[in-house]
Homo-oligomer: A and B are copies of this chain.
Amino acid sequence: MTSFTFEKLVIFGVGLIGGSLARALREGGRAAAGGIVVGVGRSLATAERAKALGVVDEVAALDDDDALRRALGGADLVLIAAPVAQTEPLLARIAPFLGETTLVTDAGSTKTDVVAAARAALGASIARFIPGHPIAGRESSGVEAALPDLYVGRNVVLCPLPENRSADVARIEALWRAAGAEVRTMEAAQHDRVFASVSHLPHLLSFALVEQILGEPDAALKFSFAAGGFRDFTRIAASSPEMWRDVCLANRTALLAELDGYAAVLARLRAAIVAGDGATLETVFTRSREARAAWQERGAQASGPAGDLAAK
């Protein structure tokens, strides 16, 4: 177990992601000397729900200057765990109250836009912002869905900036390792291409299938016969619309490139179906099946996220 100590962690957005980190540090028994965890919500009500559930020690509302100053006073760590479109206004809002040595990280699903937002909001303080992304989504959201072991064995990607001190990056790495995660680093643009492909596009495609059926005259009949294949394929269509709206727009360049590449694959498969070209279909399906089986096999051996087949 990693030995990790902190004085005060302030989490902006105590939902699934922020709440699970709080629970990991406070309940997981991994933090050598757990400090205070403060939850800040858009309204005091959401933050107070987190406190009532025992997820955080103290709460504050974002629109209350005095409460915000008190919350950030003495904080060594800040986590932004809100939909990515809120990164810039959130950072701009808290910048005046940030201490000189407070480190700030985030949990956004996209990184290029978050870095740009942080540069705009923090100016010369950008050196103290270490961009991050825990790969631990579930289709459930909200603090009620938070789990102390959500990050155990999961990947957290950090995308350090040239301005970051390596000791500060190491401290954010230690924070996530204390929650049980594996930490990997990557350049922001590369991060966005990878997750456009393996996460953002599948979410868009899943929402799109339900949308398509809804638009058809026999939608009710079709839903009544939907079974296991539909269930798995659309599980991620139960995800937060607000979060995924933001991700699609924040990562639009990489996402559009992946979407166009996907449309080209579909066009190739369509042509094979029209031509009655079973050999091409079988070749593609076999290759896909084998690649997916190899991926699952690697995951089953590793402690990474792919191995956690029981998790949502």
Contacts and interface: CB of A to CB of B under 8 A. Distances in A.
Contact of A228 (B204, B213, B221, B311): B311
Given A266-B208, A289-B239, A218 B194 contact: yes
Q: How large is the interface on A (under 10, 10 to 19, 20 to 34, 35 or more residues)?
A: 35 or more
Interface of A is mostly: helix
Given A198-B226, A202-B233, A245-B278, 10 more contacts: A85-B278, A137-B228, A155-B227, A197-B216, A198-B213, A199-B229, A206-B288, A229-B236, A237-B289, A263-B263
Given A194-B222, A198-B230, A236-B229, A214 B291 contact: yes
A288 B210 contact: yes
Interface stretch (A22-30, A66-74, A254-262): A254-262
A252 interface: yes
Contact of A255 (B157, B248, B265, B273): B273
Contacts of A155: 225, 227
Interface stretch (A159-167, A172-180, A279-287): A279-287
A214 B135 contact: no
A287 B208 CA distance: 10
A138 interface: yes
Given A249-B276, A263-B263, A305-B228, A223 B198 contact: yes
Of A136, A221, A284, most buried by chain B (CB within 10 Å of CB) is A284
